[in-house]
Amino acid sequence: MHSDHVALRRRRILSLAPLNKGVGLEIAPLDSPIALKEECDVRYIDVLDTHRLHDHFRGDPNVNLDDVVDIDFALHDGDGRIRSLAEVASPDGPYEWVVASHVIEHVPDLIGWLANIAEVLKDEGHLLLVVPDKRYTFDTQRPLTTVGQILEAHSYRHKTPSERAVFDHFRSIVAVPAADLWAGRPGSDYPRVYTFEDAAHMRQISLETGDYTDSHVWLFTPSVLIDQIVELGRLGLCDFIVEHLIDTAPNELEFSISLLRIPRDLGPAQEEVVRAQGLQTLLEEGDVKTGTNQEVIPEGVLSRTQSAAHHSPQGELPVFSERELNLILLKRRVMRLMKRALRR
């Protein structure tokens, strides 16, 4: 990857949260880490250890083997078992922050992955994501991810990309520059990367071997991902709230987002308020920045969270005092002021 692009990505992540505070974890940095060991206290984690990564990517023109970082934690135990992130990374935790660049779209079980990260993060720790915006990538012809698909993958405890994900990935991706999509040219004008026979073959391999077949399992835009974090939270399946967003810039193909780990000791009513206040503050402060792509937060997300701040799911007032509510909101305001001070 071009060094200027990596440097820009780092600057954007650093604008979301300071990485020089406490111990952090970066997932799958490969040859383009966001968090540099000479600048912060970071641990690197990947499915394979350093030696296996070199073997796996040898001959891949998109990976510079000389820049592949040394992995501190490998999920593969060497005997064929893939351990969970929480199981492997917990000894050096809890972490102040976790970084994952172009990872979330690949994970087979999104809910399980978020839960593992939440387990190793400190309360109010940051999950910092760089995410491809499907509208401006080779995924432009594919439909967006739904919450139902995310729920199904979790219910079936997917360990590898599903048959759906593998076939759709290899059947639908197109070779198209992001700038052309921004200019309004439809993805259908561009050739598919793989043939139908290629897609059928990859599907068959994944079914027969059960091995991990690298695919884009999930497809997002900024507003879609925000909406899904909100809905998964309402279902009790996500311990994060959206904190900040850097929208997709013109002629680029990715956005950056910061998720905040909800404190573990909150009661149900207090947690509901924190979830609602998190997104409401995000919108009020203008942290969701829209570009010429006209990406907006879906109508209904704000109205849902605003109403949740004042009512329980049963429509009754939540059971906490005005003082408790004010303390929760004051805590969040102080956190924001401290973070801004640290960035200066």
User: In this structure, what CATH number is given to the domain that contains residue 23?
Assistant: 3.40.50.150
Among the candidates 191, 209, 227, a domain finishes at: 209
Same domain, yes or no: 301 and 201: no
Among the candidates 209, 227, 260, a domain finishes at: 209
In whole angstroms, give the CA distance from residue 58 to residue 37.
Answer: 24
3-state secondary structure (DSSP) of residue 44 = strand
Most confidently modeled of 2-11, 248-257, 272-281, 330-339? 248-257
Is residue 139 in a domain? no
Same domain, yes or no: 104 and 226: yes
Lowest mean pLDDT among 34-38, 130-134, 252-256, 323-327: 323-327
Is 318 a residue whose pLDDT tops 50?
A: no
H-state helical runs in 40-160 = 50-57, 85-89, 110-120, 147-155
Is the pTM for the entire model greater than 0.75?
A: yes
Range of the domain at 170: 147-209
Torsion of CA 126, 30, 251, 137, to 10 degrees: -100
Is 283 a residue whose pLDDT tops 80?
A: no
Same domain, yes or no: 244 and 323: yes
Express each pLDDT in 149-198 by its tens digit. 999 999 999 999 999 999 999 999 999 999 999 999 999 999 999 999 99
Same domain, yes or no: 151 and 68: no
Is residue 191 in a domain? yes
Same domain, yes or no: 292 and 154: no
Among the candidates 209, 235, 261, a domain finishes at: 209
What integer is the mean pLDDT of 72-84? Answer: 87
Is residue 138 in a domain? no
In whole angstroms, give the CA distance from residue 41 to residue 93.
Answer: 12
259 is written with which tokens?
A: 């998720």
Same domain, yes or no: 17 and 101: yes
What is the Rg, in whole angstroms, of the alpha carbon atoms belonging to the chain? 20
Same domain, yes or no: 235 and 204: no
Same domain, yes or no: 44 and 152: no
Q: How confident is the model at residue 278 (pLDDT cuts 50, 70, 90)?
A: low
Is residue 99 in a domain? yes
Same domain, yes or no: 268 and 314: yes
Torsion of CA 278, 241, 225, 252, to 10 degrees: 80
